[in-house]
Chain A
């Protein structure tokens, strides 16, 4: 099959799987599994074929492979939709395909496929376990998720949307995939909808991202009305269009149209990729099942945000040259990204929920990418996007595996403790060795453990981009957050896996089935090896051993930015020091925690700051105060009580009363005398006429006959005189 056709076909199998499961297989768990896995498996194969076909092509960025069809007739032209693959979408496709496949496989084990039905499980709540009777009496085991098929249907739709977003050749279909993902994230975060917190988190995620999406849509509309197209090639690949966009001034803040639209699209990215100040939804989204957390909040959806930011880099950087001062949108990106990176890293320091730590670390790492992009380190941002997707998916799935193992222990001991609280864990290294080693690799990759992990190479590139670009302040902020990242990662690993079990449940934790550990191992391989694709040439010692394929391949996307980046050793040493220092310090501080109810060792030295971290700086409360309360007040008091109840209901009631009055008058003056009187009159007349005529009807045939003959004779006479005699 040729590549164009394959590209069209890539998103389809998961969509079909979704449809078939929803319509036909929603009660059959085995079939749903087969359909969902088959769907993403096909997409995966197609993606790999496409990826390996295109990576060898030299001028792929100038001449992307793809095709488009006319879709929507506008006044005098057609709105086209199509597919295309260029270096950026190729690498995105690669990591998306791998992570999605692994997450699907993992979900099979995570939702306890093959386990018995639960004793008291109801749809909308996580499974509570089942009692099994065997030779040794009855004991509790894990039970299958009650809405197993529904999960696979939704996550298939999600996979479809992500593939659609990646292969699309224009911002419109990208936006369609983007919004389907928004919907799916709402449905999946609220998957256990009987939990109040899950419902709230789902609504929060949906509404928060909507804020960004609205600005993004305005941006797309502006872009379309100016250029008449939304296709990447027509806009970003067309120098004349880009030049026009960069040089015309928009009515807002004196920005160029390119910068203004870039900023609007960036606001969509802020929502989707959970950047400050729209980051609040992502930690709450951990209410969903863990594969969803991995899918939405590591591998695909938040990555889609950064993907879009990278895609719209030509707009953001319009008019910028390598080495020149940053444009306004770039400054905004850098500031938001760097701030978010540090801000989220500090919050992650003080969280005890194993998934929440990862959620904040995701926000922080996304901040990294945004900041890198803002400073023009295009390749570094893309590189970090790829490596981060792998190791963050690994970490999320690993944490899910840990929670699963802990739940096993909780069921076994019957204790009522939170299986997600890291303080309840400890010593899981020996109970769950496969999970431990893979989690360790993922954690080290996140911390940027030197040389061997992918995270090191991508993070190092971002730091060196900041340093060599002369943005020293940003460099310091990012280095500081890298240090914090290493620190909280090691805190997490130490609390979870090292030391001794701090609860009974942790003592009875159990390694998870192969469907969960195999994806961990596969992702662990990528968490290490993905970095080898982009080792800088100038790196001392290792540079040049492997060709810096990533830089060449993705770097060719930048048509006009070709500057010599000189490599300095300062960022290299910085990343070495912060990674190793953070890891070491994290281990030293947290290895002494030996009780589940122990105070955090950092609470004392950090004092008030720790409280602030723990409380997430009160951002949620602040939003509650300045947005949600007023909105609720507005809805409850103003709209409902005043406008709806008094004004609108008053008007409606007046109209109703008027109607009743008019109706009464009509009844008295028209209905009763005319209609009723007339009707009764006809009836009475008929009856009286009937009784009057009754006498004629004697029943005697001879009388009738006489009458008939008499009438006939009369008619005959009349006829005779009137017709013949006239």
Chain B
């Protein structure tokens, strides 16, 4: 849902033309982050360019460390978080993969660091453009994982992200994902909240009895072997389940401070009220998706678009309740899952799995598109709607997955 005026006055200090990365840097400033570790890789890296200047100008009091690799970068913020410092890092593509070991332990140590993932295709061969496989790699590791679609949302989800991640019922790291180039580097007008409004929404980070400090002499993550790993996995599982409720609470509170910004925490629907066919996807594909939707509506087609925001935890119940209203659902994947069931993408598998318990399921079809940063046009999206519409009546078992925008 696009912004309505906030109920509280003066929650915004100014409006600036910012890219997605710059908007995140403003969120980090407002969250009064204590430790930032940087390492360059396109396209996320612009957030670190922006933050270094913010720190150089004295607008944020934080330690800014230029690490020697992504592995070190992620370990630095993990350990800063363990001493109760609010920490920020990020990466893209294979850089994210280079630090993967550290990403795993940040989640198993239950440390609520916030990372920006500027989605980028994995090498080889080299490509700067968006593909979602990088961020998707942490989806089963105990991470919070959400995609934003505008710089305004990006700024706000730094604040929302820290609040959810640091909540003691959750304590999971947060990956804030955004499409490389299309969002990391595209400029929009962004309303920048006041420090006072942020203070109302985001409590200070308090790791309590979990912090590493001489006044709290604990041992964190000693060797446990088969004696305790399963119980710890269970705690993490429980936290991910509890996170769904904490997420809802956080958006309610956010709306209370900043006005009715978000009608639903987990996904945003567009023209779905009387729709029979919808497309669902992550990230900026919603822009051509919504325009295509409007054009088809003009011709009398009952179509709609669902922008999925939260991927971990997955909004199982909410999405199931929403999608069961439709006859056909086309799932857009800007990722690949080679050799998976039906050879579909990651998002399709999750959506289809969420819909499986329904007695009358909508027809599902899968579209793989926009890989490596390839543009997804309005016409492409019109074709996607047509494919989804046909799936209502056609037997799609033989061509369940359609690649759109690929040279055959």
Q: Is the pairing of A and B real? A: no
Interface set of B (CB-CB < 8 Å, partner A): none
Q: Which A residues contact B (CB, under 8 angstroms)?
A: none
